[in-house]
Structure 1
């Protein structure tokens, strides 16, 4: 029994989400292999080979995977899957894009966003926006699984010495074409891997007011997030969204500002180690999950917080 992990990477480096998936794979058992598909991926492949517990790295370095189009990567997974009992990917935007396609091509069910492993064929996953946990058992010969990274500890990035082998490209599926991308550059940490996250909701009233949160984030070396209501209102881009239909985070500290605490949002952040809520509505649901709550006008409280941090 061997497990294949689809790496999250930027061609040069391995993203932390992959290290969480390695921990999940270790709980399943068997040999662990990592697939690094891209173009010019020597750096990412070398980083994957150093991860503790990894036996082999498959490097698919080809123009067809330059932009990791889901259709092309799914075709590659289908070619490699018969050699494995399990294929795992992080439940990120990328993983959620690729894995359902591969599962459909293999004619197997996908097991989505597992949060625990009970046995090689039995897994626990959240349902009803995280308000209930379902234990699911699969009899599929090849099990395709996405992993909720925040539910598993991060595996050591050093200590391994896996062999790196070239994987034959499966070719271009001919179903999609990369046109371009707009990348927002920031010096702040990535939302899903940040130790501290400061998020704003509808109560921020406008996108300009998110500068108040950015000031706090800069002092704490934190990422900036948002509720779906704030994203839908056009205050901030989709990349900021934390929640069931956004990004799942579990930082050491989560500061929710002007967020009411709808189920959709709580599903994405309630596993945070410490939750701090600032809201002028003392009956806001966010206070039911918060470790610390401040009933106050955010436009007064947040600048005061920034000033207090400046004195530290």
Structure 2
């Protein structure tokens, strides 16, 4: 099959479309013929050599995909051959076929086609697990999302609004700010022109939950902005890995900071997250209250161009690949 590998870490030129052995399913797995795969910033890190696959995982890039089940291992009865599905992956999405643990396979939500759903699972699982399962965002609380126009950001806006929260986002342009407001964000702050802590202070807004993709660079300001009893969840390190934390300020606010990664979690945890997404998020997709935001779609041979879009941060929503 055709698949994307990185033989030597580097820039987008390190991405190679190669002829790769098709996966063989093991006990508890299903084989999926890929129709679309989402491109995520974690893929960029893997390409650069900073985010290795978990032990035993395929070196093929790609953390989510949609497709059609073409084979199931003995003992798997939760999914059938011919079913249209979306998948949470440890790797392997940038290919024509991928082997997936059955617990990480979900039915295609009603109302979506396989292309639209190609970039849905990673963002939905990330937002659901971090904002709701870990940070316990509640109705009436305020969520601050850094990178509001990203795939995760656009999903977080819609999901948090659907559960009755107020949503504030930071973005890098006025065009992205307007898009996020149209999507439901109550406030969009252009970080290139304003300091988000100053804006929140002026408007007397204290986020109860902060979903942070930046890391070290924003750590002190996130703590400064946070409400009493607030929760920060760090899911990315675009702004560095080492920052200064004022524990006294954190203690005074009775607040907490959690750093999480989805890819390396045990299979059972991933299955529980996927089950939660199907139960709580899929009905919103079916009703139209949450929709995938797709920036652009590229063929597998144009994977370098797809990565460059994320490198440039020129996207709003998800970038997809089709084999």
Q: TM-score, normalised by structure 1?
A: 0.32
- Determine which structure has more spread, i.e. the larger CA radius of gyration: 1
Q: TM-score, normalised by structure 2?
A: 0.31
Higher relative contact order (CA 8 A, sep 6+): 2
